[in-house]
Each structure stands twice: as C-alpha cells, then as structure tokens.
C-alpha cells in the first residue's frame, strides 16, 4: 500500500540524510506531521536559515555566519599553532579538550587514491598564513585512515617547505580497547606517540 504522496516525498527527503534508513525516515516523517504546524514550520525554517547563512570562514574554513569566524577573531588564542582538521565537527571535539590555538578546516572527506586530486583542495588561506611567518607549529588532526595519511603528508610537506614544525595527534589505543584487536595503523601510531612512563 502506498502512502499519501506528500508523506512519501517527506520520507524520500529524510532518506537522503546520512545514517537515516527507511524505518527511521518513516518514523521521523510521521513524527513531523503529528506536530503542530508551528513546530514543522520552525524546523523547515531552521534548515533553510542554516543552509543559507552558514558558510566556511574565509581564513580557517570553520563553519560560521560571520567572516572571519569567532575563532579567528579570538585574540586570546595562540595564532602560532594551527591545527588542521577535516570537518567543523572535529574542531568542536578538539576544542573541547582545551586546545586554544587556531584551526584550518578542510571541510571535506578525502578519497585520494590518485594524487592529482590533492591540487583541487583549496588550502591557499593556510599557505598564506604559513608564508606570513607567524606560525610556529602545525598540528595534524586528520582521520587516521589512508586518505588522512595522504593528506597529512601533503600538508606536512607544505609546512616543511616554510620551515614550520609539524606534529600530529598521537593516535592511541582507545580506552577499554584490547591490543590484540587494535588495527596495525593504530598500534603503530600508538608506539610512535609513546611517552615516558
């Protein structure tokens, strides 16, 4: 049996969202249409407003509604340390740890099996900052997968050309994890990042 067309349309739209499967899409759609019209309107407006008013900061790439973003404007942050991350959500996670340097966000996931695509990534604001000579350390915080590795090496090469120190997060074994089940890359990184006991 088919659902009413407007309901089907809503389900189809929700299905396009990441992590939402058919059952979740149906549940969300039914929930939305049971809400008072004002609630549905607020949801629709919030989506449009966010979509239309949020953009990557021209200096660091963090998602913002003012340019430069509040992180770039913050004079209490240490501009000599730049942490390179893939997504704005990574910045939020890293900032929660108390990191108070600046960031450069790439805003994309990588599928970089061919090196040629590296040149398509716009990192000019980042290289400009390095060229200005105020940056002393670049912290690589890209995801520990093959693409993150390729990108990390690419960025490390650029930083090295400018004589800037490059560090990266010491990816370790997760708390509660077992060494025997830890993949090779993680284990190697954990060894590389070992500290005096």
11, 72, 130, 142: which one binds Zn ion (CB under 5 A) = 72
Of 15-23, 30-38, 39-47, 61-69: span binding Zn ion (CB under 5 A): 61-69
Give the nearest distance from C-beta 158 to Zn ion in angstroms. Answer: 19
Position 82 contacts Zn ion (CB under 5 A): no
10, 14, 25, 60: which one binds Zn ion (CB under 5 A) = 60
Position 84 contacts Zn ion (CB under 5 A): no
Which helix (H) or strand (E) is 102 found in, with range?
Answer: strand 101-105
Residue 62, Cβ density class (10 Å: 0-12 exposed, 13-18 middle, ≥19 buried)? buried
Distance CA 115, CA 136 (A): 27
Distance CA 21, CA 26 (A): 9
Which tokens sit at 48? 């449009």
Of 26-34, 45-53, 62-70, 132-140: span binding Zn ion (CB under 5 A): 62-70
Residues contributing to the site for Zn ion (CB under 5 A): 57, 59-60, 62, 68-69, 72
């Amino acid at each position: 049996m088919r659902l009413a067309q407007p309901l089907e349309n809503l389900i189809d739209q929700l299905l396009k969202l990441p992590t939402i499967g058919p059952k979740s899409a149906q549940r969300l759609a039914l929930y939305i249409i049971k809400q008072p019209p004002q609630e549905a309107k607020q949801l629709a407006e919030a989506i449009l407003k966010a979509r239309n008013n949020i953009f990557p900061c021209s200096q660091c790439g963090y998602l913002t509604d003012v340019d430069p973003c509040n992180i770039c404007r913050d004079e209490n942050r240490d501009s000599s340390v730049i942490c390179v991350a893939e997504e704005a959500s990574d910045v939020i996670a890293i900032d929660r740890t108390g990191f108070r340097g600046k960031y450069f966000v790439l805003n994309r996931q990588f599928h970089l099996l061919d090196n040629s695509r590296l040149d398509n990534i716009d990192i000019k604001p980042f290289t400009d900052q390095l060229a200005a000579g105020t940056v002393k350390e670049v912290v690589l915080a890209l995801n520990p997968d093959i693409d993150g590795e390729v990108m990390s090496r690419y960025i490390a090469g650029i930083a090295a050309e400018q004589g800037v120190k490059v560090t990266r997060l010491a990816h370790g074994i997760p708390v509660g994890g077992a060494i025997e089940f830890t993949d090779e890359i993680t284990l190697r990184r954990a060894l590389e990042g070992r500290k005096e006991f």
